[in-house]
Amino acid sequence: MKNIAVIGAGTMGNGIAHTFAQNGFKVQLIDISEASLKRGLETITINLGRMVAKGTISEDEKTETLSNISTFTTIKEGVEYASLVLEAATENLNLKLNIFKQLSEHCPEDTILATNTSSISITQIASVVSRPDMVIGMHFMNPVPLMKLVEIIRGYNTSEEVTKTIMELSKTLGKVPVEVNDYPGFVANRILMPMLNESIETLYNGVAGVSEIDTVMKLGMAHPMGPLQLADFIGLDVCLSILNVMYDGFKNPKYAPCPLLVNMVNAGKLGIKSGEGFYEYSESKKAEKISNQFLK
C-alpha cells in the first residue's frame, strides 16, 4: 500500500497528505478547487519548513516529502491507482455520500475507502458503495502531523481484514490507533464537544468571561488550550455540525448546541478561519498563533 489518495485540501486534508508523504507514501491530493490545492501545498511547505528549522527533519527530507505529493481536481483521475482513499471533506453528510458514490464507481475493487469524519456514521456512509466491507473511519486529530491519536471506527459491515490493515498502517505513520464503535461522535467528540458546548453555555449565562473560563481550564485542569480557544481552533461551524449530528443521533438535550454558538456561526464568526470567534485573529497572526501553540 504505497499510493494514497486524499480528498480535500483543507486543514485536515493537507495535514493527512503531509503525514503520509513524510512517511514515504505517494499521495494524490484531490480538491475541486485549484486555489484550495495551492493553499494546501503552501501550508504543507510552511509546516515542513518549521520542522526543518526545529531540526526535526532535514532539508532533503522536506524536498522528498513535497515530491511525494501530486494534485488533482477530479476524483476519477486521482483515485485510479489508489490502494487507500481517505476522504477529508467538510463535515456534511450529503457531500460525503456523493463523494463515496463516486469512489465506488471509480476506485479499484480492492481499494480501502476511509473517511476522516469526526461524527457521522460510518455505516451510513458505507451504504452508498458497492463494497461496504471496504469502508472504515480513520479520524485523525488536528494538527495531523503532530497529534498521535487516530480513532479507527468500524462500520456495521467493515471487514476484520480492513480493520487490521488500517490499524497497522496507522502505526507505520507513528500514530496510536484506537478502535471504537460506530456511534455519533465516536469517543473523542462525544466527550469533547459537550465540554466545549458547556463552556459556551457558561459564557452565555454570564458566569465568567472568555479569558476567565479558558484560564480556569488551563490552570485548574492542566489543559494546554482553553475550551473557547480550542473551539476557535477547531472552527465554530465544525463544532456546531458535530453537536447537531450527536443531537440528531441520540435525541438527548444534553447535546443541543448553545444558542450563542448558533448565533456566532450564523454571524460568520467561525474562529481562526474567519479571523474572529471568541478571540480576534489578524490575518498575519492566524497561522502563527496556532502553529506556535503546538510546536513549542
User: Catalytic residues, which ones?
Assistant: 118, 139, 151, 189
Residue 234 vs residues 18, 88, 284: alpha-carbon distances, Å: 19, 14, 18
The values of phi and psi at residue 140, to 5°, are -80, 160
> Do 295 and 54 contact (CB within 8 A), yes or no?
yes
Helix, strand, coil fractions of the chain, as percent rounded to 5: 55, 15, 35
Residue type, 228: L
Helix axes 227-234, 236-250, angle to 10 degrees: 100
Computed over its alpha carbons, how large is the radius of gyration of the chain? 19
Q: Which three cell numbers stand for residue 110?
A: 480492492
Angstrom distance (rounded) from CA 213 to CA 235? 18
DSSP state of 138: E
In the chain, at which residue ranges do the beta strands (DSSP E only) sit? 3-7, 26-30, 69-72, 84-87, 112-115, 135-140, 149-154, 176-180
Grid coordinates in use for 31? 480538491
Q: Are 225 and 196 in contact (CB under 8 A)?
A: no
Torsion of CA 95, 98, 100, 103, to 10 degrees: -130
Residue 241 has phi, psi (to 5 degrees) of -60, -45
Spatial contact of 73 and 34, defined as CB atoms under 8 Å apart: yes
